[in-house]
Amino acid sequence: MELSRQIAAGFSQWLNCVAGVVVATFGRIAAPRLVRLSEQTDGTFAVEAPGAKFGTASVRITNGVATCSGEAGAILKGSQIELAMRPSQFLFRPLELPRRAAEFLDGIVRAQIDRITPWTASEAAVGWTQPTDIGGDKISVTVAAAPLTQIAPFARAVGALSVKSVFISTTVPGPYKAAIKVFTQSAGGTLELRQVRRLLLVGFVGASVIAGLASAADFVIGGNLQNRHAEVARSIAERRGIIRAGNDAIVNSALARLALRKNQTPADVIVLEALSNVLPDHTYVTELRIEGDKVQVIGITNDAPSLIRLIEQSPHFSHATFFAPTTHAPSDPGDRYHIEARIKPVFAPPS
């Protein structure tokens, strides 16, 4: 029972991972329109989007509920929303770090949230600017933070307006007005994730049913094919038996010829061993060629003429002769000989 629960939990986790990948991929391919809601001094949010007239569309958030004026509702529907809030709602802290810390900036900044702000990393919405080189192998970033209890209601209120996703940003006070993203919430992602997960589950069940039907068809059809295969195999065996019975004499004759040829053909290993037993210690073989019943030996020796006699005395060789002149090079320790001989079979064919 415990094993079944573990398998079900693992399968559910796998479906969530695959659905998340599918949703993220389609999100990158078909990115929604970006609409900016800029917070005004009176607490309303002006809609800034292509085609929207400035000042005619706005959003007001009161007690966690967003209300639209003008054409704001139609503009926001299905869009990605940037909620640009005033810097007065955030706490800003400069942070100096070693240059190499830029590779691990996310972890380093979040690890110091409780030191530079009144909140812990889990209690705060946090963002920071791009690193700036300040010399001395150091960089500087400006961290913006605000309590989640203050920021999250704005994102939830806008997310209820049928938007695709919401992220909250602000700007660093000063002349450069660097933008910082501090919070992100996907409004439509959960629904899409459930839909994709449901489709994956249906597809998996359908594939399982098809696989089951295929297995059943394989069992029925495969059994029939196996019976037919057995009948064909029996017929082939009968035909082979008839052919074998009619050709025993021919086969036996062929085997006899092969055995005769085997006994009349010298083995290379026997030739090599016979030469090693015949040649004296002062003789070296540098090249050995065996072609049919003929062997050619090339090497260096102190007494080349005596090799002819020694090879002739062996029961394995006959007709030993020099097939090239015997030479002597200054670098050789003896004479270079070239001897050719006939190989005699040593095993008689069976009677």
The secondary structure of 83-126 as a DSSP string is: EE--GGGSEEEEEEEEGGGGGGHHHHHHHTHHHHSSS-TTTEEE
| The domain made up of 264-343 is a member of CATH 3.30.300 | no
Backbone torsion region of residue 268, taken as left when φ is above 0, otherwise alpha when ψ lies between -120 and 50, otherwise beta: alpha
Say if residue 225's pLDDT is above 90: no
Angle at the Cα of 280 from the Cα atoms of 279 and 285, rounded to 5 degrees: 50
Cα(244)–Cα(189) distance, integer angstroms: 75
Residue 37: closest CA among 127, 152, 169: 169
pLDDT digits (tens, 9 = 90+) for 94-152: 999 999 988 888 888 989 899 999 999 889 999 999 999 988 889 999 999 999 999 99
Span of 202-216, 261-275, 294-308, 326-340 with lowest mean pLDDT: 261-275
What is the structure's pLDDT at 262?
59
What is the structure's pLDDT at 92?
93
- pLDDT bucket at 167, cuts 50 / 70 / 90: very high
User: Domain segments of the chain: what residues?
Assistant: 31-187, 264-343
User: pLDDT: is 266 or 65 the higher one?
Assistant: 65
| The domain made up of 31-187 is a member of CATH 1.10.3470 | no
Same CATH fold assignment for domains 31-187 and 264-343: no
Cβ proximity of 310 and 278 under 8 Å: yes
Say if residue 278's pLDDT is above 90: no
In sequence order, what are the residues at sequence separation of 6 or more whose Cβ sits closer than 8 angstroms to the Cβ of residue 257? none
Which amino acid appears at position 80 of this protein?
Q
Q: 256-261, long-range: CB within 8 Å, 24+ apart, which pairs?
A: 259/349, 259/350, 260/349
Find the mean pLDDT for residues 234-258.
Answer: 73
User: pLDDT: is 329 or 37 the higher one?
Assistant: 37
What is the structure's pLDDT at 55?
60
pLDDT digits (tens, 9 = 90+) for 26-43: 555 556 788 889 998 888
Cα(154)–Cα(157) distance, integer angstroms: 5
Q: Mean pLDDT: which of 55-64, 98-107, 207-216, 221-230 is highest?
A: 98-107
